[in-house]
Chains A and B, each alone.
Chain A
Amino acid sequence: MRYIFKFPDIGEGLEEGTIVEWHVEKGQSVKMGDSLVTMETDKVVTAIPSPRDGIIAAKFGKVGETIHVGSALVEIDMAGVEGEAAVAEASKAESVEEEGAGVVGTLEVAGNSAVLSASKEGVDTSSIKLSDKPKRVLATPVARALAKESGIDINQVKGTGPAGRVTKEDIVRFASDTTTSPTSTGTNSRIVSDEKLVEMEPLSQIRKTIAKNMIQSKHNAAHMTVFEEVEISELDKVRKRYKERYANDDVKLTYLAFIIKATALSLKKYRALNAEMDMEKGVMIYKKYYNIGIAIDTPKGLVVPVIRDADKISIKEIAKEIQILSDKAKDGKLTLNDMKDGTFSITSYGSIGGLFAVPVINYPQAGILGIGRINKKPIVKNDQVVPGLVLPLSLSVDHRIADGGETARFINTIMDYLEDPVSLIME
Chain B
Amino acid sequence: MFNNYNPINNIEFQILDHNGKIVAKDMLPSIKDADLLKAYKDMLFARTADLQIVSYQRQGRIYTYPPNYGQEAISGAVGSLIKDNDWLVPAFREMGAMLAKGVTLKELFLYFMGYEDGSKYSKAKRTLPISVPIASQFLHAAGLGYAIKYSKDKDLVYAFVGDGGTSEGDFHEAINFAGVWKIPVIFIIQNNQYGISTPTKMQTASQNLAIKSIAYGVKGIKVDGNDYFAMYKTLQESIKICESGEGPVLIEAVTYRKGAHTTSDDPSKYRTKEEEELWDTKDPLKRLKSYLISKKLWTDKEEEKIIEQYKVEVDRQFIEAENYGPYPKEDIFKYMYAEMPDDLKEQEKEYERFLEWKASRTK
Question: Which residues on A are within 8 Å of B, measured CB to CB?
Answer: 5-12, 32-33, 43-51, 70, 92-93, 95-104, 106-113, 132, 160, 162-164, 333, 335
Contact = CB atoms under 8 A, between A and B. Distances in A.
B265 A44 contact: yes
Nearest to A43: B264
B363 A164 contact: yes
A6 B355 CA distance: 18
B363 A107 contact: no
A6 B357 contact: no
A44 B315 CA distance: 25
24 contacts: A6-B60, A6-B362, A10-B60, A33-B55, A44-B266, A49-B59, A70-B361, A92-B322, A93-B61, A95-B326, A96-B61, A99-B113, A99-B114, A99-B324, A100-B63, A101-B355, A102-B332, A103-B63, A104-B63, A108-B361, A110-B60, A162-B357, A163-B360, A335-B269
Interface string B295-336: 000000000000000000001000000111111000010000
B332 A12 contact: no
A6 B59 CA distance: 9
B315 A32 contact: yes
B357 A163 contact: yes
A102 B55 contact: no
B203 interface: no
Contacts of B61: 8, 51, 93, 96, 109
A8 B60 contact: yes
Centre residue among A12, A113, A132 by max chain B CB count within 10 A: A12
Given A95-B325, A99-B114, A102-B354, A44 B260 contact: yes
A43 B60 contact: no
A101 B266 contact: no
A12 B64 contact: yes
B349 interface: no
B58 interface: yes
A113 B362 contact: yes
B358 to A, nearest CB: 6
B196 to A, nearest CB: 12
A160 B362 CA distance: 11
Interface residues of B, number: 38
Contacts of B113: 96, 99-100
Interface in B66-116: 113-115
A274 B90 CA distance: 51
B57 interface: yes
B354 to A, nearest CB: 7
B325 to A, nearest CB: 7
Given A95-B325, A113-B362, A10 B57 contact: yes
Interface of B: 52, 55, 57-61, 63-64, 113-115, 260, 263-266, 269-270, 315, 322-327, 332, 351, 353-358, 360-363
Contacts of A111: 362-363
Given A43-B265, A96-B113, A102-B114, A109 B60 contact: yes
Nearest to B311: A33
Contacts of B60: 6-10, 51, 107-110
A28 B52 CA distance: 22
A108 B355 CA distance: 11
Contacts of B351: 102
A106 B264 contact: no
B150 to A, nearest CB: 38
Nearest to A49: B55
Given A93-B322, A99-B114, A108-B60, 8 more contacts: A32-B59, A49-B55, A96-B113, A99-B324, A104-B63, A107-B63, A163-B356, A335-B269
A162 B113 CA distance: 25
Contacts of A101: 354-355, 358
A100 B114 contact: yes
A102 B350 CA distance: 10
A108 B326 contact: no
B362 A70 contact: yes
Nearest to B62: A96
Contacts of A6: 60, 362
Contacts of A46: 58
B263 A11 contact: yes
Contacts of A70: 361-362
Contacts of B356: 163
